[in-house]
Amino acid sequence: MVECFTFGMNNCYVLHGEKYAILIDTCPQHYSNALFKIIKDKNISLLLLTHGHTDHIGCAAYIAKKLSIPIAMAEEDKILIEKPNARPLFAHTPLGFLLCQKIKHQKPVPFFQPDIFLTHAQRLEEYGIRGRIFALPGHTIGSVGVWTAKKELFVGDAMMHIGFSLKPRLYENKFHMEQSFRNIWQSDATAIYMGHGTPIFRQARPIFKQTVKNTMYLDCYKDMRSITKKNKY
């Protein structure tokens, strides 16, 4: 079961297993107490951060302490905890440029030390979830998603359901952002959950069919498909 909680423009997800659940992303810091009140009784075993932007990690220190749970994120994004503007951001839309300027002036969130560094294909059974990590770099270097046995895909900001486009409005690396977006788009995910905007649902078929021309796309796409076919999620 998946529960979505929206704070402002940010989505947080509680992904339930048979006994335990994981929290995927938090929200801006001023929502910390509100988020805690909603999730405090949901038997959460792990806080998983899809990337290091402040609107996704703002409550991480507070929630982890209140629930006594570990925090997991990619090591590449650790630097963003203390330095939100440590790496340059780029955009190709007016909204993207505005968001870039906003991030440049953001203050660090309350400090926390990640307990777990996530890597591609890492499994999540020990936290009660039949799923694994899927690398989705581009929006940030360390952006990751969660791929479940039910073909649910949590993508953070590697895809955004805002306005006329689903592509991220800002990114650290456009080429990798495009790769990750295409991997999501061509997957056979039945549900795609994003950090901003409403999810996309499909019935057990590829969301989008298009010839894969880039070998880097192809390798990652084959990886996702093989995981699904072998039921190893």
Beta-carbon contacts of 24 under 8 Å, excluding residues fewer than 6 positions away, are: 12, 13, 14, 15, 48, 50, 146, 154, 156, 193
CA 186/CA 221 separation, integer angstroms: 8
The residues facing 16 across adjacent strands are 21
Q: Is residue 8 very low, low, confident or very high in pLDDT (cuts 50, 70, 90)?
A: very high
Tally of residues, the chain: 233
Using one digit for the tens of pLDDT, what is the confidence trace for 186-223? 999 999 999 999 999 986 444 443 333 333 333 443 44
Token pair for 84: 């939100």
Q: Which residue has the higher pLDDT, 217 or 104?
A: 104
Please give the Cα distance from 64 to 9 (Å, whole number). Answer: 22
The structure's pTM equals 0.87
* pLDDT tens by residue, 109-167: 999 999 999 999 999 999 999 999 999 999 999 999 999 999 999 999 999 998 778 99
pLDDT digits 0-9 by tens, 31-53: 999 999 999 999 999 999 999 99
**What's residue 99's pLDDT?**
84
Q: Which contiguous run of DSSP H or E holds residue 51?
A: none
Q: How many Å apart are CA 197 and CA 32, to the nearest integer?
A: 20
Output the six-digit token pair for 120: 């591609």
